[in-house]
Chains A and B, each alone.
Chain A
Amino acid sequence: MIAAPIHLGADRLMLDPSGALFWPQRRLLAVSDLHLEKGSSFARRGMLLPPWDTEVTLDRLALLLRRYNPAVVVTIGDSFHDREAAARLPAAQAARIRAMTASCRFVWVLGNHDPVPAEQLGGEWVDEFADGNLIFRHQAHPREPGARYNTKTVGEICGHHHPKAAIAVRGGMQTRPCFVADPHRLMLPAFGAYTGGLDVRHPEIMRLFPRGGRVFLLGRERLFSFTLAQAGVPVPAPIATQSFGGGS
């Protein structure tokens, strides 16, 4: 796994191919949109999805905690799929979470899916989390991309939209979850096992990056970097011009 460095304002951050962010200077690890217990949330409504999604998501998080040994963990909202999800956690998984929140400073930023704290799991529950020049919040504030905040230029780290991007490659398109970044804002892909994605060209995402930006597509071993403008551009159709030049 090769992490890729980017700069947000003056801060150097590492993007991990798992979809997590590591801030070496603060030893801070951030992930977004875990959507724990999404499986059981669907099961309540009659779709009996395989019940291991929380376990898989926590396995992936545990791996990152071992690799980066962070001093601070921030989950940027929608950590739980619904208001009752924390209460539905299987005992073993709840215990794992408590062990994680006890092992370092663990900050839960609240999201729209999980607006209420689940204090019994430990950690701090906040609406947003600021450190130095960076602010971590679930949903980006569209009005202040790179605006002044507390008299300093800040970078914003957000989630919520589950960005994914399609890139034209030889013979077709490749679609992956991705980070989206401009010099002032970084949007994380969803980290949860059952989380789908929204194409970065959706207006909801595009309006947050009015001056363009880069996408970093998650690969098996590393990230693949393209400009936001390259995302979703279709493969040129070789047949189109050829056929119209043909004929008589």
Chain B
Amino acid sequence: MEGTLPELFLQWFSARGWQPRRHQLSMVAAARAGQSCLLIAPTGGGKTLAGFLPTLVELSEPRKHVLHTIYISPLKALATDIARNLVAPVTEMALDIAIETRTGDTPANRRRRQREAPPDILLTTPESLAVLLSSATATEMFAHLSCVVIDEVHALAGTKRGDQLALCVARLRALAPGMRTVGLSATVAHPAELMAYVGAKTLVEEPDGEPPVINLMIPDGRMSWGGHMGIESAPKILALIRQAGMTIVFANTRAQVELIFQALWRLNEENLPIALHHGSLEIDQRRRVEAAMSDGRLRAVVATSSLDLGIDWGGVDQVLQVGAPKGVSRLLQRVGRANHRMDEASVATLVPANRFEVLECEAAIEGIAAREMDGDPPRPGGLDVLAQHLLGMACAAPFLPDDAFREVSATQPYADLTRADFDAVLGYVETGDYALHAYEHFRKLFRDSEGRIHVRSARIAALYRMNIGTIVASPVLKVKLVGKRAFGPVLGEIEEGFANSLRPDDAFIFAGRKLKFLRVNANMVEVSEGAERDPLIPTYAGSRMPISTNLAGRVRALMQSPDTWHRFPGQVQEWLRLQSRRSRMPGPDDLLVEIFPRAGRWYLVAYCFEGRNAHQTLGMLLTRRMQRAGYFPLGFVATDYVVGVWSANQPTEVEELFGEDMMGDDLEEWMADSSMLKRSFRNVAVIAQLIQRNQPGSARSGKQVTMNTDLIYDVLRRHQPDHVLLRATRADAAHGLIDVARVSGMLARVQGRIVPVVLSRVSPLAIPALLDIGREQVGVGIDRDDLLAEAEAIVAEGMAEDEPAPRKRRLVKRDVAAKHALVAS
């Protein structure tokens, strides 16, 4: 591959004491041949430079200034950071290349100028690209485009943002037919599908560096049975931080980050500079932490996935993962944050928070050694995203439906899209596509005499542009610290639901501080320092991901092989042995179902290992069936490993309960009414812009959106159950919130292999699940009359004497039947 790089570039490399890497040269060669390609390389492999090198080479030759390359990053911050890093080689080689970023933060005057006189290289996000494409000037702006670079493409493909990006790239390809695409990715489970997503003909792979060194650390003393926070390990975490230069402590949720941060600082007598980082902190605060990291001014950062992706931090010496790793790919990505040098092994330590998590950590270490990546094969692109895109196309220029269908179905996510579905989506955008043709007057699109589709008015286009995007965030409020000064700093944001639950003087922990709630004032949560009460922790919807299928499989395998147990801490070995003696271990292909009495109730615990979401669904379905069978189920708990149901009567016909027919009528009936679907529908409705949250003037309150979409869902389901948005909702939920795919896969697998074990008391393995009862969040927005009845009865009991006059004892008395009917909705 000698001679691939021009002399100027070779000199630059050697001036830096570098050698062009093999994959970097391969990328330049592929570009020369005009080929689109996918580069898979571990972090720290010079991936970004490899992506840009061909562009820089081409732009170092004489040419006219046109928009040559678009770089797309999933993170705004990353785009900005790459721009900064790219400037270095460009200035050092004295290249005449204009590089600019374009994100939601770009000021209006610069946006206008970018449309009129675009830079050579534009760094942007999928959403900002969609905005650019919806403009009438898009044809002109992108006409000379040569290359699109998609960074972290593994994090985009298979998501709705990825669907949107694929559609936008297809648009670019139509505007600039000669254009090539480049994908930059971490190691993935399905490289062929990812190549198809990028439209790549060539795969360039950089071999992994040294395998990481991963240790397991458990706290001193008794290991916790339940809980997921890992606070008990704070002293040992601090000791590890003390030993290393710079540590990232990863946790699974923002609440966990706040708690670990607090716990560390209570012990941090030397005042080691330890910071925290998560997605709800104010952006300035996060940037300051990142800058301090880069400058080596910090010893540790406690972080969520907000530090998973992106910027290469350089001097990170070790990574700690507190709590269950949940998946091999994710763990590998996190571990890769340490030691971004190819020739040295990354060092990481896993800190499980309870006994089950010890197994999961061991399983993850095995998974990394075996290089078994997670990830489901890609799912079909969302019809809601397509709806948004088609409206955007009409906003840019009139189009013929046949052309649009051809363009859309050329993308990987929409390769299997039927013409009927396409037409239904287009019909939805035009008039809502309702069986009751009510909105002819209010149509958003119209067709001219040649059949081309136009947007009806500039106002509709403006509203569309205000509502572009596929990330449907929960409504949040800013948290502002007010003290003696009237204008204090904004610390970040908390969910509106949590903010509404606070009363004056309530304490909560946020941004590493213990704060006192004062009031909500003009959409700001005003707080002060110096809270006295026991603090609450803000929770965030959807912040917990379920364990991956691969990893769960490895956990089962570990349980099944007692000869591997010697690797575990003594307490865990003892726990597993006790389980073998008192009950039995779940097998690799069977379904262990334990049934035991406790405190006047019967417990049924099924070891399914299908992840929290699937178990939620299973719990709902099981309680329905148990109700019908007369066991009087009273409630259930779903963890990543098991589903547990408690009931008044002993469940006896266990095999029937877990029959495959559960996925038929029961599922249909439950799904139709499920609030999980309502939650999915909310996202679909916002993405398809049925609801446009941003209106000229002020944004609608997010709370209201929740209410409205639930009600809209009910009405639509009753009158047009096959409406295209409902089909999109069901497709989403099947893979996400209700994870039907995993439930049905499991049921099919275990038929004839269900192992009911009746015990006289709780089994050792069931303890963690039982401890999660009451700690587990029941999904927000799920209608559970049973839980309300329970709360009402408790209050009625406790408050029997001092209640004010108007009340209704009768209801409580009459409630015996309802109490027995504690069935999940």
Contacts and interface: CB of A to CB of B under 8 A. Distances in A.
B690 interface: yes
B481 interface: no
Interface in B53-109: none
A188 B747 CA distance: 46
A169 interface: yes
B162 interface: no
B442 A6 contact: no
Nearest to B691: A47
B663 interface: no
Contacts of B231: 242-243, 246-247
Contacts of B785: 219-221, 224
B774 A238 contact: yes
A196 interface: yes
A50 to B, nearest CB: 4
Contact of B234 (A49, A175, A240, A247): A247
Interface stretch (A25-33, A114-122, A229-237): A229-237
A182 B818 CA distance: 27
Interface string B497-511: 110111100100100
Contacts of A193: 711, 714-715
B13 interface: no
Interface string B783-825: 1110111111001000100011111101100110010000001
Interface string B192-234: 0000000000000000000000000000000000010101101
B262 A243 contact: yes
Contact of B792 (A40, A43, A195, A225): A225
B792 A201 contact: no
A243 B719 contact: no
A194 interface: yes
Nearest to B705: A196
Contacts of B33: none
Contacts of A217: 788
B401 to A, nearest CB: 19
Contacts of B707: 164, 196-197
Nearest to B433: A48
Interface stretch (B368-376, B533-541, B607-615): B533-541
Given A40-B438, A197-B707, A224-B792, A243 B229 contact: yes
A51 interface: yes
Interface in A194-245: 194-197, 199, 201, 212-214, 217, 219-227, 230, 232-234, 237-244
B471 interface: no
B601 to A, nearest CB: 14
A56 interface: yes
Interface string A58-80: 00000000000000000000000
A46 interface: yes
A19 B23 CA distance: 67
B779 A47 contact: no
A170 B689 CA distance: 35
B784 A53 contact: no
A199 B502 CA distance: 13
B795 A169 contact: no
B808 A224 contact: no
A219 B821 CA distance: 13
B676 to A, nearest CB: 14
B775 interface: yes
A198 to B, nearest CB: 9
Contacts of B501: 166, 173, 232-234
Contacts of A219: 785, 788-789
A126 interface: no
B312 to A, nearest CB: 33
Contact of B442 (A4, A48, A90, A247): A48
A53 B791 contact: no
B781 interface: yes
Contact of A172 (B428, B509, B777, B803): B777
B267 interface: yes
A174 B783 contact: yes
Interface residues of B, number: 85
Contacts of A166: 497, 500-501
B444 to A, nearest CB: 6
Contacts of B716: 50, 52
Contacts of B444: 46, 48
A5 interface: yes
Nearest to B689: A47
Contacts of B788: 167, 169, 174, 176, 217, 219, 224
A7 interface: yes
Contacts of A171: 774-778, 787
B49 interface: no
B266 interface: yes
Contacts of A197: 707
Contacts of A40: 438-439, 442
Contacts of A44: 442
Interface in B133-169: none
Contacts of A241: 534
Contacts of B463: 46
B807 A48 contact: no
Interface string B233-275: 0110000000000000000000100010011001100000000
Contacts of B434: 48, 50-51
A239 B537 contact: yes
Given A43-B432, A46-B460, A173-B497, A56 B790 contact: no
Nearest to A168: B791
A60 B354 CA distance: 51
B500 A48 contact: no
Contact of A225 (B232, B234, B503, B807): B807
Contacts of B442: 40, 43-44, 46, 48
A167 B459 CA distance: 41
A168 B784 CA distance: 12
A183 B442 CA distance: 47
Which of B463, B537, B788 lies at the interface centre, i.e. has the most chain A CB atoms within 10 A of its CB?
B788
Contacts of B719: 50, 52, 55-56
B690 A90 contact: no
A239 B229 contact: yes
Interface string B403-440: 00000000000000000000000001001101010110
B566 interface: no
B635 A170 contact: yes
A52 B506 CA distance: 43
B267 A169 contact: no
A193 B779 CA distance: 24
A232 B520 CA distance: 15
A204 B263 CA distance: 40
Given A225-B807, A244-B534, A51 B792 contact: no
Contact of A46 (B692, B718, B799): B692
B629 interface: no
Contacts of B500: 166, 199, 201, 232
Interface string A138-157: 00000000000000000000
A195 B804 CA distance: 30
Contacts of B790: 169-170
Contacts of A169: 778, 784, 787-788, 790-791
A237 B811 contact: no
B718 A56 contact: yes
The 6 closest A-B pairs by CB, nearest first: A48-B432, A196-B707, A51-B438, A169-B787, A234-B501, A171-B778
24 contacts: A2-B814, A47-B689, A51-B432, A51-B436, A90-B438, A167-B788, A169-B778, A170-B778, A171-B776, A174-B783, A176-B783, A194-B712, A194-B715, A197-B707, A214-B807, A219-B785, A222-B818, A225-B808, A227-B803, A234-B501, A239-B775, A243-B262, A244-B534, A247-B267
Given A47-B689, A169-B788, A196-B704, 17 more contacts: A5-B808, A47-B691, A48-B439, A53-B715, A56-B715, A169-B791, A176-B783, A194-B712, A213-B804, A224-B785, A225-B808, A240-B536, A244-B534, A247-B232, A247-B266, A247-B267, A248-B266
